Amino acid sequence: MDDRSVRTSRRSVLASAGAALAATAGCLGSSDGGEEPAAYTTPAAAEFDGVVDGQWLESNLDDVHLLDARDEEAFGESRIPGAYHFPDSEMLDTYAEETADGFQVSPEAIAWTLSEAGIEPDDDVVVYGAEANLWETYAVYTLNALGHEGQVSLLDGGFTVWDAAGGETVSEEPETQEATYEPDLNLDVVATREFVADNVDEDGAAVPILDMRSPEEYWGVDERGDLDRFGHVTGATNLNFVQSVDDEAGRLRSPEELETLWIDDAGLSADETTIAYCQTAIRASVGWFVLDQLGFEDVRNYEGSWADWGGLSEEGGYYYTTGEDTGTIVDTFA
C-alpha cells in the first residue's frame, strides 16, 4: 500500500467516526431550517484527502491535533479548542535554506514546537489559519518535508468561517505538552537549486516549472529584494497563486475549477515531475499543496525560490529570462 493509500484509509476511518458523532450531535453551522452553510461544507473538503471542513472538524476534534498558523496576537485572542500556535513567519521561512555550501535544513526548532504541542510523527494533524491561504499550506508542506507520517490536513476556510458559523472557541493559553518529535526528512517534496538547474538550460525547462508570483514579478518589472537580477527561471510558466483561492469564501476553489486551472489551462500532467517556486517558497506552497491534492506523483517546492535564483548567474548554469511579455501567463481566474 503506498503513502497516498495509507492517508486515504486513515481519513476514511476518521470520517466514519465523524459521521457517527454527527448523528447524535448538531452539525456546526446548521441553521434552524436544517440547511448547512456552503462556506462550511466545502467542495475541496469533499474531494481531497488533505482538506477538511468545519463540520468534519467539529466531529473529529478529539481525533486530531490542531496547529494554528495565524499571528500570535490573533491566536491569543481566540482559537479552536485544542489548538497550539505554529509560528507563521520566521521559523518556517528559515528552517531550510540554500547556502554557499548547498541546501541546509535546521528542523530542530520546528520539532521542538511540535513536541510542545504534544504532536508525534504518526499523529493526524489539522492546520488552520485565518482562511485557507499561504502560511497554512506552507505549514502542511513543512510537516511533509519533516517526514510526518500521520495525515496533515488543511481546514478549508480556516478560523474565520469556523468562528462565523458559531464554532466553539477558547482564549486561555494551552498547556505545554510532553512529546518526542524526531524528524525524518522527506526531501522528495523539496526542489533544491541544483535540482532546478539540472532541469533547465538556455532553451527552456525539461519539466514543468510554475512561477507562483505576480506577472509583474515574473517579468522582472516588480523588483523585490536586494538581488542581482529579476525575471523568471527560463522555461517557467506563470500562475499567480491567488487563482487557486476563492477570495469571497476564503477557501480553496472547487476541485473542478482547480483541475481547469492546473491541468486544462496550465497543461500539467499528474505523472510529470513538477516544480513550484515564488520569492521565498511560501506562495509556491499553495501550488505544491493543490497539485498534491490533485494526485500529482512528484511535485516539489523550490525552497530557495527567486530569493536564491535571483542572486545566481547564468555562467553557473542558472538560466533566467527577463522582460515584459516574456514567457507564458496562465490567467484563468486572474
Q: What is the pLDDT of residues 257-285, one digit of tens each?
A: 999 999 999 999 999 999 999 999 999 99
pLDDT (0 to 100) of residue 99 = 87
pLDDT (0 to 100) of residue 88 = 66
41 and 20 in a common domain: yes
Q: Please, are residues 323 and 219 in contact by the beta-carbon 8 Å criterion?
A: yes
Q: What's phi and psi for 286, nearest 5 deg?
A: -65, -45
194 and 47 in a common domain: no
pLDDT (0 to 100) of residue 134 = 85
> Each residue of 217-266: pLDDT tens digit?
999 999 999 999 999 999 999 999 999 999 888 899 999 999 999 999 99
> Each residue of 115-148: pLDDT tens digit?
999 999 999 999 999 987 888 999 999 999 999 9
213 and 65 in a common domain: no
Distance CA 171, CA 297 (A): 40
76 and 176 in a common domain: yes
321 and 235 in a common domain: yes
pLDDT (0 to 100) of residue 102 = 86
215 and 148 in a common domain: no
Which residues are CB-contacts of 153 (< 8 A; sequence separation ≥ 6)? Answer: 11, 49, 50, 51, 52, 64, 124, 125, 126, 127, 140
158 and 113 in a common domain: yes
160 and 207 in a common domain: no
> Each residue of 180-202: pLDDT tens digit?
999 999 999 999 999 999 999 99
Q: Residue 224 falls within a domain, yes or no?
A: yes
178 vs 272, residue with greater confidence: 272
Confidence of residue 95 (pLDDT cuts 50, 70, 90): confident
Q: Residue 334 falls within a domain, yes or no?
A: no
145 and 230 in a common domain: no
129 and 44 in a common domain: yes
159 and 225 in a common domain: no
Closest to 49 in 3D by CA, of 96, 109, 3: 3
pLDDT (0 to 100) of residue 125 = 98
Residue 35 has pLDDT above 90, yes or no: no
Question: Last residue of a domain, which of 160, 185, 210?
Answer: 185
pLDDT (0 to 100) of residue 19 = 37
pTM: 0.89
Number of domains in the chain: 2
pLDDT (0 to 100) of residue 90 = 64
Q: Please, are residues 297 and 291 in contact by the beta-carbon 8 Å criterion?
A: no
Q: Residue 181 falls within a domain, yes or no?
A: yes
38 and 147 in a common domain: yes
Q: Please, are residues 237 and 293 in contact by the beta-carbon 8 Å criterion?
A: no
Residue 15 has pLDDT above 80, yes or no: no
Q: Residue 12 falls within a domain, yes or no?
A: yes
